[in-house]
Amino acid sequence: MQRNLLASALASLLALAGCSGTLTQEEASAPAAKVFPAVKTIMNSRKVPPPVPEYLALMKTDAAGMFSFAQESGAFDLLRQMPVSNGPVSNWMSRGGTIFSFRQGMLVATRGLGDDTMEADASQTLALVTARRNGRAKRFVAHLDGNNHIVQSTFLCDVKNEGPNALAQGTGTVQTTYMTETCYGSDYSFLNLYWIGSQGRILQSRQFTGTLVGLVTFRSLDQPTVQRLTDQLAARLGTTAQ
């Protein structure tokens, strides 16, 4: 029974993650009621390892939260925003201490994944995506290889406006523009997905993090949902989030 519940939960999450290149309207507008119970099901069906001390400290604050879901491994997490930022770049920590850095919702660096992105210039893509325009962009990425050396890579990316798409939010939906970014490099290619709100803000995305972890979906959460998930995690750990 638990196996079936977990499979159903993952199916709901995968629909929101956009595992195929193109999402149907039904997939992208899956009711929020199917999403967060799915998170709860996964939390209750797996042993929760203790978070790193820095994350435990964030649990006791009102730090913003973001849901993440790794497509290949099926791992999920509740990221919390760290108090230290690098100018326009915000830093978010996972329970295990992995750090994801975003510029206006665009992933520009990671720490703790192995083949980390040390730095990325995705400004051309960001400009197109937030303006909801078609175009071609270059990505410049400095990442670690298997020998822990920094390698510089350039990707040529085609950005496309795929049209309107409803995204589950709260008990209803919000209208977004569904954008795709197909990037080609000398060694590999990848497809990023973005759901853009009416103000040009990235509300949800599926972004390539590197060859080890692959594609990860990121979703902004409202504070009541963050607190609810934090309380659930604290209860599992036998601690308090207050």
Q: What is the pLDDT of residues 66-82, one digit of tens each?
A: 999 998 888 889 999 99
**Model's pTM, two decimal places?**
0.80
CATH class of 2-237: mainly beta
Element (H, E) at 3: helix 2-17
Per the prediction, the chain carries an average pLDDT of 81
pLDDT band at 239 (very low <50, low <70, confident <90, very high): low
Q: What is the pLDDT of residues 132-177, one digit of tens each?
A: 999 999 999 998 887 788 989 999 999 999 999 988 876 778 899 9
- Helix extents (H) in 70-218: 123-131
Three-state secondary structure along 207-230?
A: EECCCCCCEEEEEECCHHHHHHHH
Annotated domain spans of the chain: 2-237
Other CB atoms within 10 Å distance of the CB of residue 32: 17
Q: What is the pLDDT of residues 82-97, one digit of tens each?
A: 998 888 999 999 999 9
The closest alpha carbon to 160, from 190, 128, 185, 188, belongs to 128
